[in-house]
Structure 1
Amino acid sequence: MQPELYLSYPSAFLIGLLGSTHCLGMCGGISASLSMALPVGKGFRFRQSLMLLAFNGGRIASYTLIATLIALLSTRAANQWQGVGLALMTLAGLLLIMMGLSMGQWWQGIRFVERVGAPAWRFLSPLTRRFLPVNNVGQALALGGLWGWLPCGLVYSTLGWAALQPTVTSAALTMTFFGLGTLPSMLATGYAATWIRDLKGHQGFRKLSGALLILFGLWTLPFQLLLQH
């Protein structure tokens, strides 16, 4: 099996971009609140940009860290047991299909998957209050680093895909590119762009994004490998 044939950094970026409306529901509120907490005046837009970039930088860094930790386990397991790679590929494909069904508002089964991360979030959630209200870039960065651990089906779906990568570094970069794909909509939300809120509620866009994520999932499923077995 050559996982690099099934996963590329541009594809991870595209998944983040397509799933960005899901991100608005999960992280959009906290991103917008960063701007609301700043005093309006000279230099407001510059301070706002720093806060938003710091928060989202911390969020993306946490995705990279989680992918690194998972890849340390998955790559070692794949090297020791031949069937692990096949199982990971199947899981990644199914998670993406479930996320696509959720995005298209056809089935919300991904919410059961999100419960997997609930225990960790119950531990980390109280820590976020230490950085609220956000008054400086350091607090925004730390808050973003914690917020990236919020249980999210889109993140879990992409993590399953990242676990297919042959090295820890490539898995970490996969999640970095995924995070960068979510950045445009998150920044737009922080700048209170009304068009991104309209996009979130646009049924046609959600269904198109969901269908494309389902195609990504089907593409990931190891049909050829299963036929060989």
Structure 2
Amino acid sequence: MIEPLSLLTAFLLGLFGSSHCLVMCGGIAAAIGSNAGTQRVRVTLLFNAGRILSYSIAGLIVASAGLWLQSQHQWLMLVLRTLAALMLILMGLYIARWSLMLTRIEQLGQGIWKYLQPLTRRFMQSPRAIDRLWLGMLWGWLPCGLIYSTLSWVAANGQPLLGAAAMFAFGLGTLPALFASTLAANVLTPFLSNNRVRQVAGGLLIGFGLWTAASVWLLS
């Protein structure tokens, strides 16, 4: 069940994973800001609103799938929650730079992304500010281990509306870093790229993943 504390956890997952977000999305965010002129704030908000909307839609979809699995057999949910715990641990290892195994999982989404990426160029070149919303929505489907980890955790809860809310909270957690990279490129990069910060954030994610795994098998 996703409770307020879990929504806070989703927000912190996005916040602590912001260094990864800067690698994946920081470049396009900075480019949007540099090309927007006096509309920087507006296009930044539109881009990030589109991105977070896509995260919320994905949360709704995977949580619905989790609910369906739960209706089929209870042991399927145990498997799903164990997978969620493993993904969180891998994400923690990735953020701390102790293991890059998660990058292999990111490659699973390349099949869909190759069809969406050409559309991003169209909206990127458009002079209309509203097209930054559509660009953000497309960019929300960029293959990303951090998103996959959070979605697996959301799916394990099996509650569609609250799954969408959790991914919305996750998106808000990623917002400070990407907003700063758009309006003032690299303001947060030195902090989020600091080895100590990455290791602390990674350690917290690993701890949460281990706690999730323990709750699956000890409390179920």
Q: Above 0.5 in TM-score?
A: yes
1:59 aligns with one of 51, 69, 76:
51
2:125 alignment partner, one of 114, 127, 133: 133
Distance in 1 (CA, whole Å) between partners of 2:3 and 2:63 is 17
Whether the 8 Å contact between 2:81 and 2:216 is mirrored in structure 1 is: no
Give the Å deviation of 1:116. 1.3
C-alpha offsets along residues 46-81 of structure 1, whole Å, 9 cap, x if unaligned?
x11110010000001111111111122110111221
Residue in structure 2 matched with residue 48 of structure 1 by the alignment: 40
| 1:226 to partner: Cα distance | 2.6
Against the structure 1 CA distance between its residues 5 and 33, is the aligned structure 2 distance closer, same or farther, given a 3 Å change threshold?
closer
Uncovered stretches (5+) of structure 2, i.e. residues with no partner: none
Residue in structure 2 matched with residue 10 of structure 1 by the alignment:
8
Is residue 12–residue 177 contact of structure 1 (8 Å, CA) maintained in 2? Answer: yes
State the match for 1:31 in structure 2. 29
Match of 1:91 in 2: 83
Structure 1 position 120, deviation (Å): 0.7
- Decide whether the 8 Å contact of 2:64 with 2:158 is kept in 1: no
Contact kept in structure 2, 1:37 and 1:134, CA below 8 Å: no
- Please identify, of 193-202 and 101-110, the stretch whose mean Cα deviation from structure 2 is larger: 193-202
The corresponding residue for 1:20 is: 18
Q: Choose which of 94, 99, 121 in structure 2 pairs with 1:107.
A: 99
The residue aligned with 1:169 is 161
- Post-superposition CA distance 1:103-146 (Å, at most 9, x none): 00000000111111110101111111111224232110000000
CA distance in 1, matches of 2:219, 2:156: 19
User: What is the rounded CA distance, in whole Å, between the counterparts of 1:211 and 1:134 in structure 2?
Assistant: 41
RMSD: 1.7
Aligned counterparts of 1:166 and 1:149: Cα–Cα separation in 2 = 21
Distance in structure 1 (CA, Å) of the matches to 2:196 and 2:59: 31
Task: Output one character per residue of 1:167-195: Cα deviation in whole Å (capped at 9) or x when no partner.
Answer: 21011111000000000111011112543
The answer to whether structure 1 residue 153 and structure 2 residue 151 are counterparts is no
Residue 83 of structure 2 contacts residue 152 of structure 2 at CA under 8 Å; is this kept in 1?
A: yes
Q: Deviations over 1:180-225 (max 9, x none)?
A: 000011101111254312123211111111111111111111x354
% identical equivalent positions: 42
Query: Alpha-carbon deviation of 1:4?
Result: 3.6
Q: What TM-score, normalized to structure 2?
A: 0.94
1:205 aligns with 2:197: yes
Asked if structure 2 preserves the Cα contact closer than 8 Å seen for 1:99 and 1:213, the reply is yes
User: Structure 1: which 4+ aligned runs deviate by more than 6 Å?
Assistant: none
Code of the residue aligned with 1:226 in structure 2: it is: W
1:108 match: secondary structure: coil
Aligned to 2:217: 226
Q: Specify the SS of the correspondent of 1:163.
A: helix
